[in-house]
Amino acid sequence: MQNYILEMKNIHKIYSVNNVTALKNATLKLEKGKVHALVGENGAGKTTLMKILYGIEKMDSGEIMLRGKDVKIDNAKTAFELGIGMVHQHFKLIDDFNIAENISLGIEKKNKYGMIEFKKIQNEISDLSCKSGLDLDPCTKVGDLSIGEKQKVEILRTLYRGAEIIILDEPTSVLTEQEIQRLFNTIKMLKNQGKTIIFISHKLEEVKKISDQITVLRNGETVFTGDTARTNIEEISRLMVGENITFEKLKCTDKKGENIFSIDELYVKDMEDQYFKVKGISLNIKAGEIVGLAGVDGNGQKELIRAITGLSKIEKGSVFLNKKNISDYSTRMRREAGMSYIPKDRVMEGSSPESNILENEISTKYFKDDVSKNGWINREKSLDLTKFLIKEYDIKTPGINIMVGMLSGGNIQKVVISRELSSEPELLIACEPTWGLDIRSQKFVYDQLEKIRNEGKSIFLISGNLDEIMYLSDRILVIFDGEIVKNFDNHDDLTKMEIGKYMMGLHIEEKPEKECDNRCTESTD
């Protein structure tokens, strides 16, 4: 008989707030030292199953056996004591604390006088960081980190607390190609150290590449478990959604119209207002054109988008929409001028998790005739619109009055996308539009973007996923160190390698590898 490090058997879970059956008879069996992928459509129950394992959701019935023994996991503290750690789909870090403070929060080591031993903690974290290939400086403030780096902090936190089983809930959905490669190296290193990894992803190529075993959940039920090497992507996809979905690169159109959107010599500073992150960017997007922006995270994309959408100050330069200079417009005025925006962070920026679906859907159009009159919201029209969008975008929810924060990650993203596309924008700024979406929903979003492009709308697509950029864009711009360093027509011979060269700045010079030495130079003892 096979010896499993962990067995979850016949797990049932109904969320009583909305009466949703999230899991029925779900089963998961893990072998020690293996990477086990957990896949399934948006809302299939993956996160719920992991939250139960991590002790932050209660199951209604079922059994968990760890190293052959029955265990009861009522909270995250117990989970940690049992050697289970989780990196959540939406990170749980405090931006104002540094890395060491975030990692040691709640388990700070104290000396005999009861004082926290910061220096010791920092050095331990620094050593662990090097050993696990995560390469982080424990003194850096978390608010200054990119999403990829924040994820590393989360992984390091589980390791620091002694995790033997590490749950990674959609770890790659927010990462760039380069960061994904680094994460995979880390996963391999952890596996070699005997750790067991649960890897959740919607990207089946990744699952195939990194996992040893795979479990497929469908509507809360386990429908398949087996060795990854013995299956193929088509089979997994069929098991997940009941059909085989494939993508073909969008055909470029030559029906492009006039310039709809232009940026002229734009300069924007970083969030602390200290130095320039956008250094004289100019670009144009025509009607009926999708322009993709490729770049390694942290090269000015965030600041550029914030300035375009009116969330950050422009130091110098101008932004034009439909020939109007909108540089001084508020965010609402920009919306009224025809701009829509799908932000990268669907929870912090893209939605109001504590408001219901209807409130979220109308939050960008409550002032328009579609849903209001003379300053009063028309309840009936708002309801009709929300019902239509839930159906059209296949948002899985038991009702309209459900708080958006209670939806699964992918379904929150669908609320954001449906809200932005239904505003019928002239220009859509789309940051990571398929972040966390399953293949069927991803295909749906691609079809929608193609449709609005063919109707003559302009799309500025910012994505860390080069496949997505290459699949959708008519033209690809590469941003490096705050400047647009290359403009590619997206012809069939263009390769990822070619784009990657500009993304990494290798067109300028080869940079030497940094040595791994993260010890703090200053003590905060």
Ligand X SMILES: Nc1ncnc2c1ncn2[C@@H]1O[C@H](COP(=O)(O)OP(=O)(O)OP(=O)(O)O)[C@@H](O)[C@H]1O
Contact footprint for Mg ion (CB under 5 A): 47, 409
Q: Is residue 45 near ligand X by the rule CB under 6 A?
A: yes
CB of 24 to ligand X, least distance (A): 11
Please report, in angstroms and rounded to a whole number, the separation of the first and last CA atoms in the chain: 53
The alpha carbon of residue 207 and the mean position of all alpha carbons in its chain are separated, in whole angstroms, by 16
Give the position of tokens 């859907």: 361
In the list ligand X, Mg ion, none, the entry touching 43 (Cβ below 5 to 8 angstroms by class) is ligand X
Q: Is residue 24 near ligand X by the rule CB under 6 A?
A: no
Q: Which residues contact 328 (CB under 8 A, 6 or more apart)?
A: none
* Three-state secondary structure call for residue 12: strand
In the list Mg ion, ligand X, none, the entry touching 425 (Cβ below 5 to 8 angstroms by class) is none
Q: Is residue 42 near ligand X by the rule CB under 6 A?
A: yes
Half-sphere exposure of 187 (CA within 13 A, CB side): 27
Query: Cα(245)–Cα(128) distance, rounded to whole angstroms?
Result: 41
Closest CA to 297 of 162, 133, 176, 446: 176
**Residue among 7 and 221 whose Cβ is closer to ligand X:** 221
**Residue among 312 and 434 whose Cβ is closer to Mg ion:** 434
How many positions of this chain bind ligand X (CB under 6 A)?
22
Q: Is residue 48 near ligand X by the rule CB under 6 A?
A: yes
Q: Which stretch binds ligand X (CB under 6 A): 94-102, 140-148, 252-260, 408-416?
A: 408-416
**Residue among 409 and 433 whose Cβ is closer to ligand X:** 409
**Residue among 45 and 310 whose Cβ is closer to ligand X:** 45
**Residue among 432 and 474 whose Cβ is closer to ligand X:** 432
Q: Is residue 47 near ligand X by the rule CB under 6 A?
A: yes
**Residue among 10 and 284 whose Cβ is closer to ligand X:** 10
**Residue among 411 and 423 whose Cβ is closer to ligand X:** 411
Q: Is residue 411 near ligand X by the rule CB under 6 A?
A: yes
CB of 58 to Mg ion, least distance (A): 18
Q: Which residues contact 163 (CB under 8 A, 6 or more apart)?
A: 80, 83, 84, 85, 195
Give the position of tokens 């932005």: 420
Q: Which residues contact 277 (CB under 8 A, 6 or more apart)?
A: 268, 269, 270, 300, 302, 303, 304, 482
- Which residues from 375-404 bind ligand X, rule CB under 6 A? 396
* CA dihedral for 372, 373, 377, 383, sign (positive or negative): negative
Q: Is residue 350 near ligand X by the rule CB under 6 A?
A: no
Q: Is residue 20 near ligand X by the rule CB under 6 A?
A: yes
CB of 169 to ligand X, least distance (A): 7
Q: Is residue 406 near ligand X by the rule CB under 6 A?
A: yes
Q: Which residues contact 224 (CB under 8 A, 6 or more apart)?
A: 214, 215, 216, 231, 236, 239
Are 470 and 494 in contact by the 8 Å Cβ rule? The answer is: yes
Name the residues that contact ligand X, by CB under 6 A: 15, 17-18, 20, 22, 40, 42-48, 89, 396, 406-411, 436
